[in-house]
């Protein structure tokens, strides 16, 4: 039983990279506007379908991916600008409902167009398998992990080492302060939602490499993104990444050592347990008000 442990951990980390990316994309939008995008899963779904459409125009993988990410960036920014900004000072319920409703509308649109077709993306690499000592590593695992690592690496360089990144850090620290020194906080909100949507779309593109696309894939990803985010602590970037990796490994462990049916509900169980026991997660700040 223990002999398969390293194998489970390795494939868990590969899936976890994907969850980490989705949790990270959720966190970007959340940190910028303190609104959780309940329609974020549909951004992931839309990213995968956009890639499919652009690939259908005869583009190869990389340009199609760039176009898809750009499209989702625009759509995410537009969503924030047109639908969220008018009600941003309203009750949280309307904000959550608005995001959820936009997501549902997108899902409905996807189902109308592609609901009855089986849509798959073609991998831009061959499906090889490597042996790493006793462990089997698939090309999918490598491609996903590599892509996510490169993406995260470039994002952290952008965030921590460039002037633009410093501006973003400033707004994250204090929106009012940033507005006082002349930063356009509204434009920043829209931009960050766009970045979140584009990152989510990248997650969707990766997911589409090994799963057939479906209009319902958004829910699946959103639940896992939430679980990773909750586990790592809401609003924490490295928390989101570590939470995602842990979630990926835990799914594999629970699924193997207890029962395969647990793979589906690991994310739910983690969400519920973490929020009940330690709502701040591993790295989040305690923000819950007790009365």
190 makes contact with another protein (CB under 8 A) = no
Options 56, 63, 90, 212; binder of another protein; rule CB under 8 A = 90
Let me know: does 271 contact 230? Beta carbons within 8 Å: yes
Determine the Cα–Cα distance for residues 232 and 254; give it in Å rounded to an integer. Answer: 19
32 binds another protein per the rule CB under 8 A: no
| Residue of 112, 103, 121, 144 whose CA lies nearest to 48 | 121
How far is 194 from 217, CA to CA, in rounded Å? 20
**Around 64, how many Cα atoms within 13 Å sit in the side-chain half-sphere?**
20
Q: Rule CB under 8 A: is residue 234 a binding residue for another protein?
A: yes
Q: Which of 160/268 has CB closer to another protein?
A: 268
Q: Which is nearer to another protein, 108 or 124 (CB)?
A: 108
In angstroms, the CA 27 to CA 225 distance is: 9
Whether residue 148 contacts residue 200, with contact meaning beta carbons closer than 8 Å, is answered with: no
Q: Contacts with another protein in 244-263 (CB under 8 A)?
A: 261
Nearest to 282 by CA among 241, 239, 250: 239
Q: Which of 26, 32, 24, 27 is nearest to 191 (CA)?
A: 32
- Nearest Cα to 37, choosing from 236, 226, 176? 226
Which stretch, 111-119, 128-136, 199-207, 242-250, contacts another protein (CB under 8 A)?
111-119
Using CB under 8 A, which of 69, 106, 121, 190 touches another protein?
106
Q: How far apart are CA 284 and CA 279, in angstroms?
A: 8
CB of 149 to another protein, least distance (A): 27
- By beta-carbon proximity to another protein, the closer residue of 256 and 262 is 262
14 vs 50, beta carbon nearer another protein: 50
Least Cβ distance, residue 195 to another protein (angstroms): 20
Residue 49 engages another protein in binding (rule: CB under 8 A): no
Backbone angles phi, psi at 4, to 5 degrees: -85, -5
- Is residue 118 close enough to count as binding another protein by CB under 8 A? no
Tell me which DSSP letter residue 137 carries: E
* 80 sits near another protein (criterion: CB under 8 A): no
Query: Quick one: 211 or 272, whose CB is closer to another protein?
Result: 272
Per CB under 8 A, the segment of 69-77, 113-121, 164-172, 237-245 that binds another protein is 113-121
Q: What is the DSSP string of 9-49?
A: HHHHHHHHHHHHHHHHHHHHHHHHHS---TTHHHHHHHHHH
Residue 167 or 216 having the CB closest to another protein:
216
Nearer to another protein, 144 or 215 (CB): 215
Determine the angle formed by the axes of helices 262-277 and 237-257, rounding to 10 degrees. Answer: 130
CB closer to another protein out of 102 and 205: 102
Distance of closest approach, residue 175 Cβ to another protein, in angstroms: 18
List of residues contacting another protein (CB under 8 A): 36, 38, 83, 86-87, 90-94, 96-98, 100-113, 115-116, 215, 219, 223, 226-227, 230, 234, 261, 264-265, 267-269, 271-272, 275-276, 279, 288-291
């Amino acid at each position: 039983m223990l002999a398969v442990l390293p194998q489970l951990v390795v494939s868990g980390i590969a899936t976890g990279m994907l969850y980490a990316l989705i949790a990270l994309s959720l966190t970007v939008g959340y940190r910028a506007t303190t609104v959780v995008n309940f329609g974020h899963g549909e951004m992931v779904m839309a990213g995968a379908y956009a890639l499919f459409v652009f690939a259908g125009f005869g583009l190869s993988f990389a340009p199609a991916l760039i176009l898809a990410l750009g499209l989702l960036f625009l759509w995410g920014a537009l969503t924030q600008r047109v639908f969220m900004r008018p009600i941003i000072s309203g009750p949280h319920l309307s904000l959550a409902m608005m995001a959820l409703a936009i997501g549902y509308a997108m899902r409905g649109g996807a189902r109308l167009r592609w609901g009855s077709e089986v849509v798959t993306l073609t991998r831009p690499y061959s499906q090889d398998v490597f042996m790493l000592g006793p462990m089997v590593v698939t090309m999918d695992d490598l491609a996903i992990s590599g892509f996510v690592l490169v993406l995260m690496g470039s994002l952290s360089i952008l965030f921590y080492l460039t002037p633009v990144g410093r501006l973003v850090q400033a707004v994250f620290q204090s929106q009012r302060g940033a507005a006082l020194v002349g930063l356009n906080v509204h434009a920043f909100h829209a931009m960050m939602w766009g970045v979140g949507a584009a990152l989510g779309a990248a997650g969707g593109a990766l997911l589409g490499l090994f799963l057939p696309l479906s209009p319902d894939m958004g829910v699946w990803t959103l639940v896992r993104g939430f679980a990773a985010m909750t586990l790592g602590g809401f609003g924490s970037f490295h928390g989101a990444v570590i939470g995602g990796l842990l979630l990926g490994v835990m799914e594999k462990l629970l699924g193997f050592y207890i029962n395969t049916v647990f793979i589906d509900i690991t994310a739910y169980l983690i969400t519920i347990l973490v929020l009940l026991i330690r709502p701040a997660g591993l790295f989040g700040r305690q923000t819950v008000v007790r009365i």
